[in-house]
Structure 1
Amino acid sequence: MENQNIIRRLPAPIAVSEQEWPESTTPVVSVCCMTYNHENFIRKCLDGVLNQETLFPIEILVHDDASTDQTASIIQKYEKRYPNSIKAIYQEENQWSKGVRPNPAFNFPRAQGKYIAFCEGDDYWSDKGKLQQQFDIIEKYPDVKLCFHKVLVVHDGDHARLGTPTPILTKTFYSCRELVSTNIIPTCSVLAIREAVIETPDWYYKLPMNDWPRWISACKDGYAYGINKVMGVYRIHSGGIWSAQNVGVKVISDYDFYCEIEKNGPICSRALAADARRALVRKLINQEEERLFRIRNHVIFGPLLKLWEKFINKNIFS
């Protein structure tokens, strides 16, 4: 492998699909792409990466998790057309259902880039200058470990149902502590320093969300840089692993997340995680106040509710 501190550059940015590099060239960016039953989306995802106009070489690491539709077939056609850029793994058995996270298990170990970018198979990049702009920012600011941007939310893959660009950014630099209370970083928007994101501690696998804890850990001794510009699209559809979850499941997941960060996360994030956990419980209790009013005045259930609230205050808020 070449010295990653020596970055090969083109005289001017051109599309990845048109770049030609010597066979021994080490990519500067490794794009990690997880797919599962994304036959309606994967073309746009791969096109968005191949259309990136950069000064440097990249590699596209695709992991297909035993799709039961035509996703793998579509990827194979792209891989055949762009063999120097696309490197795919095709699973015969679904790994996610076994508790295996494809990026740390299969994509990170083979990633050669100094930087890691993310784009899952049902999302895509809409700005051809996205990677180059993010690369320039991280190279400019030594304390920036991760760069992200706003994305447009598309519901059910239907452009007639466009959502609001997210997240709402009020500043540029975000510390580890500021990433704890709410996940403001869309996965498909991230370009990060390799060493900052490939570390995957054991407690990470206890959490249902895939990348939020990774962003927090990545910035434990640095910052995330937010670009206030839409450069990608995040799809919400019935086949999405996270977006398909109901509100109740997400609330429980958030609570479990705060507990794990409070216990095992970076030191700088633990106190904020504890505060966020308590705030979440208070919010849920407040939402139930009106429903609980009648129960409090019930002869039998009223005393039981008081005992339950006493238990909550002692074990959750203390």
Structure 2
Amino acid sequence: MAFSSFKFSFYLFLVFLLGIASAQLSTNFYSTSCPRAISTIKSAVNSAVAKEARMGASLLRLHFHDCFVQGCDASVLLDDTSGFTGEKTAFPNANSLRGFDVIDTIKSQVESLCPGVVSCSDIIAVAARDSVVALGGPSWPVQLGRRDSTTASLSSANSDLPGPGSDLSALITAFSNKGFTANEMVALSGSHTIGQARCTNFRTRIYNEANINSTYATSLQANCPNSGGDDNLAPLDTTTPKFFDNAYFKNLLSQKGLLHSDQQLFNGGSTDSQVTTYSNNLVSFKTDFANAMVKMSNLSPLTGTSGQIRTNCRKVN
């Protein structure tokens, strides 16, 4: 009886170990099952960014908005149906989240190579990294082996993603809720060194806030009137908007943060010193950003037998 009990316990232990192994992500997850997957993603991203530099920022943002809601599970890609509401109409996503067509293109290319093997959530994660690299930013190892969710959460998208009007305490809390330190939040905010924002997201700041460079505010008002023109765009980094560098932080020191949430990072608060450090040290910023991106891309991934590998990123199989 004792021996049988031992065998059973040992069997459970093996099952436990196998469970851990199946749940682990690895950088070479597709080396055998789809060896051309990573190079295919990179080629497609480089093509999309070469066509429109802003797309690099959009793909990076897509990864962020995916991982902050339910974890990195591609829930953000799911379209609404008659019986299902996805995350695309959430306030932080509606009329602003982009890059879905690029992900569709990549998925189609990868499916033709290895049907049913590469997850949409892995594609988003790799595309975000390759987008940053394409715009002159740092690279980082992307752990692979995520699976795709069969659910989405409109309510979580509305509650968990920090908005452009967030103050410093709200930003710190939103990131802390996902396990990030204030310093990591500042590093990740540096993603705003690329990309653009809609007038509706910075109108209040350029007309009503005092902690903004007056010349900068006036220049923005020309393309963002008091009413109308909601979709008119302005670069988040007014200096080098198409290059991933530390100019975003230098701009904050000059009160040239485009969004209210941007300038909150340098406004007499606890993160001022971190902004100053990054403005003076590009290497420090890139290193911290890359490390924080590794951490973000590992937020609650679905692995093992959880979720599925979608054949169409926009809908559940």
TM-score range, shorter chain: under 0.3
TM-score between the two structures when normalised by the length of structure 1: 0.26
Structure number with higher strand proportion: 1
Determine which structure has the larger helix proportion and give its number: 2
Q: Which protein has greater RCO, CA pairs closer than 8 Å, 6+ apart? A: 2
